[in-house]
Amino acid sequence: MSRPNIVILGGGYGGMVTSKRLEKFLKAGEAKVTLINKHDYHYLTTQLHKIGAATAADRQIALSIPEIINPEKTNFIKAEVAAVDANKQEVHLVGGEKVPYDYLVIALGFEVATFGIPGIKENAFEIRSFRSSKAIYHHILKQFNLYKQDQDPSRLTFVVAGGGFTGIEMVGELVDAMPKLCKEHGVPFEQVKLVAVEAAPSVIPFFPKESIEYTTQFFEKHNVRLITSKKILECTPEEIRLENGENIPTRTVVWSCGVKGNTIIEKFGLPVEKGKIPVDPYLRVKNMKNIFSIGDNALFMKNEKSALPPTAQVALQQAPVCAKNIVAAIRDEALTTFEYHHKGSVASLGTRAAVGLVGSVRLSGLIGAFMKQVIEARYLFMLGGPALIFKQHFGVSHEPVKITAKQ
Ligand code: FAD
Ligand code: NAD
């Protein structure tokens, strides 16, 4: 094979780090690398809730891809992937263009799971992409304006559905944002109601008891009404219906009740299990030698029964191994098996508090919030070294992000 074509689908955590590692591992002229993403920016999914509440500038969360990659080593195509033809070794883009590949990396991430609950798809908001998160912020402002006209209290009732990490992070951000937003837009803050609904008996039920208590007290302190052990059964443009028969009038529901793999992979003619692409220990799609899959759209079994969770941490550990294995395959060398090492989890509650578990050490409050910042800075370092950390903290552009692609 003369100068193989490596094509990476998705410029999220998995795709971006695979590209950067290939830039490092490949010798000059050894392969052609193409990265395809539907936007020309890479959004930090782990901080999208900040876009929903406007507690961060656009460019702190959406980083220009052409500025991160080395254009001499990686060819970037801003386009939406429509399908993959594994027999012809081609990627089909929306618009009809076809991109041939010798090695393919599928890193197209997640979609929000709605479990077929009536009205969620149509009426609730998702923290899925920069665009979907920005829509939350615009909707809040719209409700503020309409409240000034009709004083309907449902316009100032904001519901976050799901008390997993995404849900509690969104609530924390709204707690931080609301006083300032209300002041800026002339809306009485004391009329704002924040409501969190969780089907399980507590928020973050999978976390230590003390972290649950800390989060619950944080909610109480900031007047967030927490409803537990109640599933949301329906969402209309004007209310949500809970399984105890209670209806909560609201115009804003942020749905954070779980995720699934990007459903586009169903169009690839590749194996799909539990909505994801099953991969072997080398991160290759089962029974394929030249297609790799990583991150939220990949199913990597950590043992016979359970798969690795959909986290950035997993995608970020898989990406370097994926890049290394592609280079090894090109050079006809032995591949490396992927081993996951869980480093811990930290979830923010606004900018000044967080809950976390790192090893056996429980973190909360300001220390937790500091640790969260360290984790985010570590990722920027991985992507662009100290210069990117500096730029994102001190030199970030205040230009709004131009959203062109859908979702
Ligand atoms: P993504 O990061 O989702 O990237 C997928 C990319 O593919 C995107 O750029 C998307 O635009 C692109 N794409 C999708 N479809 C197409 C298409 N058809 N054509 C072209 N491009 C396409 N995990 C943690 O470990 N720690 C955290 O603190 C954490 N916080 C989170 C906070 C929030 C609010 C959310 C929602 C998730 C959080 N997660 C966290 C989970 C983490 O964000 C995901 O596991 C991670 O983003 C997965 O990375 P990925 O590369 O697989 O996919
Ligand atoms: P999740 O599946 O972890 O939590 C969803 C929550 O919604 C669950 O507690 C569930 O009981 C609840 N729920 C489901 N259906 C419901 C209903 N009908 N009504 C009310 N509640 C309902 O999903 P997530 O929080 O979006 O997280 C997705 C992935 O992203 C996870 O792997 C998570 O670890 C990761 N993540 C990590 C962080 C972090 O580390 N800081 C932050 C966000 C997300």
Give tens-digit pLDDT for 81-106.
Answer: 999 999 999 999 999 999 999 999 99
Whole-number Cα distances in Å, 149 to 142, 143, 144, 187, 324: 11, 10, 9, 11, 59
- Statement: residue 407 has pLDDT above 70: no
Query: Which residue in this structure is represented by tokens 């590209």?
Result: 19
Answer yes or no: CATH 3.40.640.10 is held by domain 5-38+79-112+260-342.
Answer: no
pLDDT band per the 50, 70, 90 thresholds, residue 399: confident
Nearest-CA residue for ligand 1 atom 29 is 46
Ligand 1 centroid–CA 129 distance in Å is: 8
Residue 209 Cα to ligand 2 midpoint, Å, equals 17
Confidence band of 311 (pLDDT split at 50, 70, 90): very high
Which whole number is the average pLDDT over 129-134? 97
Q: What's residue 2's pLDDT?
A: 81
Please name every residue paired with 61 in a beta bridge, in sequence order, or none if there are none: none
Q: What is the pTM of this model?
A: 0.96
**Atom 32 (ligand 2) nearest CA:** 310
Mean pLDDT over 207-211 rounds to 97
* Proximal ligand: closest to the CA of 354: 2
Largest CA distance in the chain: 69
Is the confidence at residue 356, as pLDDT, over 70? yes
**Residue-averaged pLDDT of the chain:** 96
Q: φ and ψ at 401, to 5 degrees?
A: -85, 135
pLDDT band at 20 (very low <50, low <70, confident <90, very high): very high
Phi first, then psi: what are they for 255, rounded to 5°? -90, 110
pLDDT confidence of residue 401? 83
Q: For the packed helices 13-25 and 312-330, what is the interaxial angle rounded to 10 degrees?
A: 30
Closest residue by Cα to residue 91 from 264, 349, 294, 271? 264
For residue 406, the model assigns a pLDDT of: 64
- Confidence (pLDDT) at 70: 97
- Helix axes 312-330 and 365-394, enclosed angle (nearest 10): 50
Q: Confidence class of residue 226 from pLDDT cuts 50, 70 and 90?
A: very high
Average pLDDT on 113-135 reads 98
Q: What pLDDT, on the 0 to 100 scale, is given for residue 394? A: 83
Burial class of residue 185 (count of CB atoms within 10 Å of its CB; 0-12, 13-18, 19+): middle
Q: Are 405 and 10 in contact (CB under 8 A)?
A: no
**Which ligand 1 atom is nearest residue 110's CA?**
3
May I ask the CATH architecture of the domain 120-257? Answer: 3-Layer(bba) Sandwich (3.50)
pLDDT at 1: 58
- Position 83 scores a pLDDT of 97
Of the candidates 205, 226, 215, 174, the residue with the CA atom closest to the CA atom of residue 355 = 215
Q: Could you give the residue range(s) of every CATH 3.50.50.100 domain in the chain?
A: 5-38+79-112+260-342
Determine the distance separating the centroid of ligand 1 and the alpha carbon of 317, expressed in angstroms. 14
Question: Residues 143, 46: contact at Cβ < 8 Å?
Answer: no
Looking at the annotation, which residues are catalytic?
Answer: 169
Q: What percentage of the chain carries pLDDT values higher than 70?
A: 99
Q: How far is CA 60 from the centre of its chain?
A: 15
CATH 3.50.50.60 in the chain is located at 120-257
Q: What is the mean pLDDT of residues 356-383?
A: 96
Closest ligand to Cα 167 = 2
pLDDT band, very low/low/confident/very high, at 35 (cuts 50, 70, 90): very high
Please tell me the distance from the alpha carbon of residue 106 to that of residue 292, in angstroms, as a whole number.
6
Mean pLDDT of 284-298: 97
Rg (CA), the chain: 22
